[in-house]
A = this chain, B = another copy of it.
């Protein structure tokens, strides 16, 4: 149903606005807590890369594994289970010959796009900053 919710009815504040709202800098828990909730779901180095890989059409276990550098079967297996438990991905088994397994993103995983985009943008410019910092003088 409501796939096109617009944040009009209920003003969603940015982290900064939320803090400003409290008047001074006493209560930062109102910001820290939701951020930690998010961090608890996408914790570790692997979850977002896995989501990215699946979103690019890599649905099969080995396919995902091959497309994420240095991940191992064991880790991938565990992280996929975590993601499934958080309802971000769906595991489907097909009764073909041989049996094949496909992982797909749930619509809920799509709500993480702004997070991924922010991280992608920051990571991109951070990499530039790092590689640029040797020739620029500190």
Contacts and interface: CB of A to CB of B under 8 A. Distances in A.
B38 A126 contact: yes
B15 A52 contact: yes
A49 B37 contact: no
B16 A113 contact: yes
For the side of the interface on A, what is the size category? 35 or more
Given A115-B118, A115-B122, A28 B53 contact: yes
A28 B56 contact: yes
Contacts of A135: none
B116 A15 contact: yes
Contacts of A55: 16, 19
Contacts of A114: 118, 121-122
A101 interface: no
A69 interface: yes
22 contacts: A15-B116, A15-B117, A16-B117, A25-B56, A28-B53, A28-B56, A28-B58, A32-B68, A32-B69, A35-B52, A35-B119, A35-B120, A36-B49, A37-B124, A37-B126, A38-B119, A38-B126, A40-B45, A111-B122, A117-B118, A118-B118, A118-B119
